[in-house]
Structure 1
Amino acid sequence: MFGGKIGVPEILLILVVIILLFGAKKLPDMARSLGKSARILKSEAKAMKSEGKDTQAAPSDPPNAAQEAPKTIQAAPGDVTSARPVAQPTDSTTQR
C-alpha cells in the first residue's frame, strides 16, 4: 500500500506529531534521559561481557574476609564522633 518508502515529508509529519503530543519543553529532557539510559545499557553490557571472560579465565575462589578492610558504621549522617569500625557479621551470629 505505501511501498515501504519513508521520505522527507513523512519524517517531517512524524516530527510535528511528536512535538504536538509531548510539547517542545519536554523533548530535550526526554532525549537526555534516553541518552543516559543508552549509556547505562552499553556499560552494563560491556561489564557483563568482561565478567564472562574473567570467570572463564580464572577459577572462582571465595573471597577472603581477612583481606577486606573493616567497614565503618555511623550513628547519624554527618556524625563523625560516633563512627567506629566493625567486623563483618558471620553466619554463626545469626544462628540460635
Structure 2
Amino acid sequence: MLGNLKPLEILLILVVVVLLFGAKKLPDMARSLGKSARILKSEAKAMKDDGAARTAESTAKPEADAPRTIQAAPGDTASARPVQEPDRTTQG
C-alpha cells in the first residue's frame, strides 16, 4: 500500500495527521501503540508456548483407554477399523 505512494503524498498525510491530533498527542499515541505491540507480542508468544506444551503433553502420554483406529481416508469414519495390537504382557 505504501509502495504506491509518492514522497509528496506521504508528507501530505503526515501533515494532516499532525493537524488532526496535534503535536503534543503524537508522542503519547506512539508510546501507547508501542505498549500495545509489546502486549500483543508477549500474548502471541505465550499462546505459542502454551500450544507447544499441550502438544508435548499429548504426545508424551497417549490415551490407553481409547482403541487406535486405521482410517482409509482423512475424515472417513465409515471404513475405520480398530487396530489389533499385541498385548505386552503375553510377549516373552
CA-CA distance at 1:58 after TM superposition = 1.6
For 1:26, the equivalent position in structure 2 comes to 25
Matched, 1:15 2:14: yes
CA distance in structure 1 between the aligned counterparts of 2:11 and 2:37, rounded to whole angstroms: 25
Structure 2: tracts of 5 or more residues without a match: 59-92
Larger fraction in helix: 2
| Counterpart code for 2:16 | V
Aligned length: 56
Change (3 A) 1:16 1:55: same
Q: Tell me the equivalent position of 2:52.
A: 53
Extract structure 1 runs of 4+ deviating beyond 6 A: none
Establish whether residue 40 from structure 1 lines up as the match of residue 39 from structure 2: yes
Residue 30 of structure 1: CA displacement?
0.2
Post-superposition shift, 1:5?
A: 2.5
Q: For residue 11 of structure 1, give the secondary structure of its aligned residue in structure 2.
A: helix
Task: Look up the equivalent residue of 2:44 and give its one-letter code.
Answer: A
Residue segments in structure 1 that go unaligned for 5+ positions in a row: 60-96
**Matches of 1:32 and 1:11 in 2, distance apart?**
22
Structure 1 residue identity aligned to 2:12: L
Identity over aligned residues, as a percent?
73
